[in-house]
Amino acid sequence: MVESVFLWRRLVGAQIRSQLQYRLSFALELVAAFFLSFIDFLAVLVLFHNTHQLGTWSVHQVAFLYALSSISFALTDLLIGHFDQFPQKVRDGNFDIMLVRPRGTLFQIVGSDFQLRRLGKAAQGVVVLVYALGTLHVAWDVGRVLMVLVSIPAAIVIFSSIWTVGGCIAFWTVDGGEFTNAFTYGGNFLAQYPVDILSSWLRRFLAYIVPLAFVCYFPALYVLDKPDPLGLPRLLQFASPVVALAAAGVAAVIWRAAVRHYRSAGG
């Protein structure tokens, strides 16, 4: 386990070195990622230009949700990669190379797509977070600080699990790239908005099936000391770490089944 972490660091280090070979191009990409992701936030602002409240949520509260989700999304993207090149890997047989190496396949995939420029988006999330917190007057205490500190890693694990399941599609369809994107960008988009404004079936889907509501909606309710507009049990606000572990377990099982399918059906 520890040895795997060291190997992961080596694999990531190698990619960082190669990405820093072209310093100017890297700097431009980083800056572009930073600014481009503001367009995303602009959409939130445009929405609030026409309305002062989204359900019971003010613009600053939504900004807080947005920031939590964005930071988690960007860090997930940084750490485990995007799976958007994965269908290509399966198609051209490069996944086979992973299968003849003495390491787990998921580990190798995670270690092969580290893009430092994705820090640009994380930085943008931090800027929005500072903006939101500057206006929200959160009554900070140990519990709230802890909640933010725990909910981001939990959100990263939840996003990772969802993306992994999305990546599995590549084993069944030849061109699953777009479908996989629905899991990554789509998930991020949904997590950025308060769950209670969505229709009830979508809400249930997000809370209980694809656990995006645990990415930042429930933690945000706690931090902002907001009564749950849906009246769900307060316990759910503390459930993110548990949900994250469960999601990771489910994703691992699905991944194994998908690889088994690939190996018996032969891509």
Partner 1 sequence: MIEVEELTKRFVVRRGRLRRERVVVDAVKGISFRVERGELLGYLGPNGAGKSTTIKMLTGILVPSAGRVTVAGLDPSRRRIELARRIGAMFGQRIQLWWDLPLVDSFELLRHIYRVPSERYARNLARFREVLDLDPFLTTPVRQLSLGQRIRGELTAAMLHGPELLFLDEPTIGLDVVAKQRVREFLGEINREDGVTVMLTTHDLGDIERLCKRLLVIDRGTLIWDGGIPELRERYGGERLLIVDLERPAAPLAVEGAVVDRVDGARQWLRFRGSASELTARVAQSARLVDLQVAEPDIEEIVRRIYAGG
User: Which tokens is 172 given?
Assistant: 């069944």
Count of positions on this chain that bind partner 1 (CB under 8 A): 26
Per DSSP, 7 falls in state H
The answer for residues whose C-beta is within 8 angstroms of residue 139's C-beta and 6 or more apart is 225
Q: Is 233 in the site for partner 1 (CB under 8 A)?
A: no
3-state secondary structure of 246: helix
CB 183 within 8 A of CB 164: no
Least Å from the CB of residue 255 to partner 1: 15
Q: Is 16 in the site for partner 1 (CB under 8 A)?
A: no
Residues in region 86-105 near partner 1 by CB under 8 A: 92-94, 96-97, 99-104
Least Å from the CB of residue 1 to partner 1: 14
Long-range contacts made by residues 206-209, C-beta under 8 angstroms, separation at least 24? 207/232, 207/236
Query: Which of 36, 33, 43, 77 has the alpha carbon at shortest distance from 63?
Result: 43
Q: Is 23 in the site for partner 1 (CB under 8 A)?
A: no
The answer for residues whose C-beta is within 8 angstroms of residue 33's C-beta and 6 or more apart is 117, 118, 119, 120, 121, 124
Q: In terms of DSSP H, where are the helices of 169-199?
A: 177-191
Question: One symbol per residue from 203 to 222: x for binding partner 1 (CB under 8 A), - otherwise; what is it?
Answer: --------------------
Q: Is 11 in the site for partner 1 (CB under 8 A)?
A: yes
User: Which tokens is 53 given?
Assistant: 């409240």
Least Å from the CB of residue 85 to partner 1: 13
CB 176 within 8 A of CB 87: yes
Least Å from the CB of residue 168 to partner 1: 17
| Residue the block writes with tokens 């229709």 | 199
> Please, which residue, 58 or 112, has the CB nearer to partner 1?
112
Q: Is 24 in the site for partner 1 (CB under 8 A)?
A: no
- The residue within the footprint of partner 1, chosen from 7, 136, 248, 252 (CB under 8 A), is 7
d(CA 242, CA 236): 10
Residues in region 121-150 near partner 1 by CB under 8 A: none
d(CA 163, CA 179): 11
> Please, which residue, 21 or 51, has the CB nearer to partner 1?
21
Least Å from the CB of residue 252 to partner 1: 16
Give the interface segment with partner 1, choosing from 7-15, 35-43, 50-58, 214-222 (CB under 8 A): 7-15
> Please, which residue, 66 or 171, has the CB nearer to partner 1?
171
> Please, which residue, 19 or 181, has the CB nearer to partner 1?
19
> Please, which residue, 234 or 263, has the CB nearer to partner 1?
263
Angle, helices 142-168 vs 240-265, to 10°: value is 10
Using CB under 8 A, list all residues that contact partner 1.
Answer: 3, 6-7, 10-11, 14, 17-19, 21, 92-94, 96-97, 99-104, 260, 263-266
